[in-house]
Amino acid sequence: MQVLKTFYNDQQMTDSNSLANALMEKPAELSPIITHLAGKEDRRFPLTMLTEGVGNAKSIDRYEYEYRVKTHEVNIRPVVSSVGNGLGGAPFTLTFPDKWFVFPYTLISESGVQARIMSEPVQAGSNWAYTLQLIEPDAAASIPAADIAAGGMWAQLYANVGLDFSRGNASNWSTPGLVRNKIGTIRKSYHFAGNAKDYVAEFSLPTKGGKTTKLWMDYEEYQHMLRFKEECELLYWYGEKTYDANGVTAMKDENGQPVITGPGLLQQIINKDSYSTLTESKLMNVIGDLFYGMTDASSKQITLYTGIGGAREFDAALKAYGGGFSQAWTVNADSKFITGSGRSLGMTGYFTSYDHIDGHTVNVVKVPMFDHGPVAQASKKHPVSGYSMESYRMVFVDQSNYDGQANVQMINKKGREMMRWAVAGSVIPRGFSGSDTRASDIDGASVHMLKTAGIVLKRFDTSLDLQCVAS
């Protein structure tokens, strides 16, 4: 795509090839196209590009949406209390906080001791009491005190039964949890004077068969549209819920209507951590912890969104891990970190990706918002570089597909994916057919944009918000 700033030509630029007019007629179709095309050249709205820009968006009829999510399954349980130690094969009792373990399975302790559940558990207040017997046939064997003390961890292995006439048993599996959220509405308006300059943005868009078609819109409007996408991007990252656990919104606007805002990506990520100086060991551990114990966690694609500060920390951590530049590492067959010879040396190359030992790949994307956005401007400064602390924020986003669906998606309200209208005053905004009725006495006109949407992170426990705490 090419975007050319040029002068308005009323012979060639008509309502029929006006992008503004086309967006009014088909906003749900054309807005994603503009996002994709502009996003290829502009890094200001990465989440919009990741979702709407590549088709990972869907429209719903409601303002509330829900989805099933499978999180890390925890198969261990801590001991609440105990009676007996199993000496001589005698039955003993362990009380656990829930009824996760199943009769007649065998359990194993932290020290490796195995014991079989001998009967159905019995509820004991809010806990559950299990009667067990040691697997070990040695009459002198007993359970170590630490294993049956409060907090001692046990896990379930398998169900061993008698030779004949055994009966079936239950299963302990966790169903995907149900998450319910809402989408909110954001809008933007702008005014322009009656003597505004005749600049327009001309778009050359590729079509089938290798041809191109040209559309146009007022240049000032195009800039405001990009700014609106920026503001939507801020909502997708930093949005915070305005409703409680029951879905009730206390905040009302001047008309008494509830002001609904759904959670942004950062609020949906439940894994939070911090660092002062990033190391390869820290990087390896946090990535490994995200997917440890997940059966479908092979070869995950993780994108690290950060600012200049975070990108520098990432690069420095990997270079320090490998001994720095002193070894003149080979980048490929004909390139090195240190180039030249003698007194004519050059230093080049920086790390933008990391292959984890578990098979996961991390790719770094620098986002201007983390360096120069409103949150960055309001945050404290790094004590060494003077950059915003937000520039050092590292958001590891799991962008894998699960069950054929992208982990990060945009949810739109059907019919409100992108709404645009004009209010004519002394002038009629170029490209807005049907807006010839003047509704304002202002020497100018106004254009309004509105969108009802939100971002959904389906696996909210496989991403990480890592913030710098340097002092």
| pLDDT score of 167 | 46
The Cα 289–Cα 158 span in angstroms is 26
| pLDDT score of 164 | 46
Is the pLDDT assigned to residue 322 strictly greater than 80? no
Q: Is residue 313 very low, low, confident or very high in pLDDT (cuts 50, 70, 90)?
A: very high
For the chain, the average pLDDT equals 81
| pLDDT score of 421 | 80
The pLDDT tens digits of the residues spanning 342-372 come to 767 666 678 888 888 888 889 999 999 999 9
| pLDDT score of 40 | 59
| pLDDT score of 328 | 46
Is the pLDDT assigned to residue 163 strictly greater than 60? no
Find the mean pLDDT for residues 265-287: 92
Find the mean pLDDT for residues 310-330: 75
Find the mean pLDDT for residues 169-198: 69
Q: Is residue 168 very low, low, confident or very high in pLDDT (cuts 50, 70, 90)?
A: very low
Q: Return the higher-pLDDT residue of 287 and 6.
A: 287
| pLDDT score of 174 | 45
Is the pLDDT assigned to residue 172 strictly greater than 60? no
The pLDDT tens digits of the residues spanning 28-80 come to 666 776 776 665 556 788 888 888 888 888 888 888 888 776 655 557 899 99
- Which tokens go with 250? 């206390």
Least confident of 48-62, 191-205, 278-292, 367-381: 191-205
| pLDDT score of 424 | 78
Is the pLDDT assigned to residue 259 strictly greater than 80? yes
3-state secondary structure the chain: CEEEEEECCCCCCCHHHEHHHHHHHCHHHHHHHHHHHHHCCCCCCHHHHHCHHHCCEEEECCCEEEEEECCCCCCEEECCEEECCCHHHCCEEEEECCCCCCCCEEEEECCCCEEEECCCCEEECCEEEEEEEECCCCCCCCCCHHHHCCCCEEEEEEECCCCCCCCCCCCCCCCCEEEEEECEEEEEEEEEECCCCCEEEEEEEECHHHCEEEEEEEHHHHHHHHHHHHHHHHHHHHCCCCECCCCCECCECCCCCECCCCCCHHHHCCCEEEECCCCHHHHHHHHHHHHCCCCCCCCCEEEEEECHHHHHHHHHHHHHHCCHHHHCCEEECCEECEEEECCEEEECCCCCEEECCCCCEEEEEECHHHHHCHHHHHCCECCCCCCEHHHHCEEEEECCEECCEECEEEEEECCCCCEEEEEECCCCCCCCCCCCCECCCCCEEEEEEEEEEEEEECCCCCCEEEEECCC
Is the pLDDT assigned to residue 292 strictly greater than 60? yes
* Percentage of residues of the chain with pLDDT beyond 90: 32
Crossing angle of helices 219-238 and 27-39, rounded to 10°: 90
The pLDDT tens digits of the residues spanning 101-149 come to 888 888 999 899 999 999 999 999 999 999 999 998 888 899 999 999 9
Find the mean pLDDT for residues 3-25: 70
Q: Where are the domains of the chain?
A: 76-159, 269-408+458-468
Least confident of 125-139, 162-176, 286-300, 385-399: 162-176
| pLDDT score of 326 | 44
Find the mean pLDDT for residues 281-304: 80
| pLDDT score of 385 | 93
Is the pLDDT assigned to residue 165 strictly greater than 60? no
Find the mean pLDDT for residues 198-203: 78
| pLDDT score of 55 | 83
Whole-model pTM: value is 0.75
Find the mean pLDDT for residues 324-335: 51
The pLDDT tens digits of the residues spanning 394-434 come to 999 999 888 788 899 999 999 888 888 878 776 766 666 55
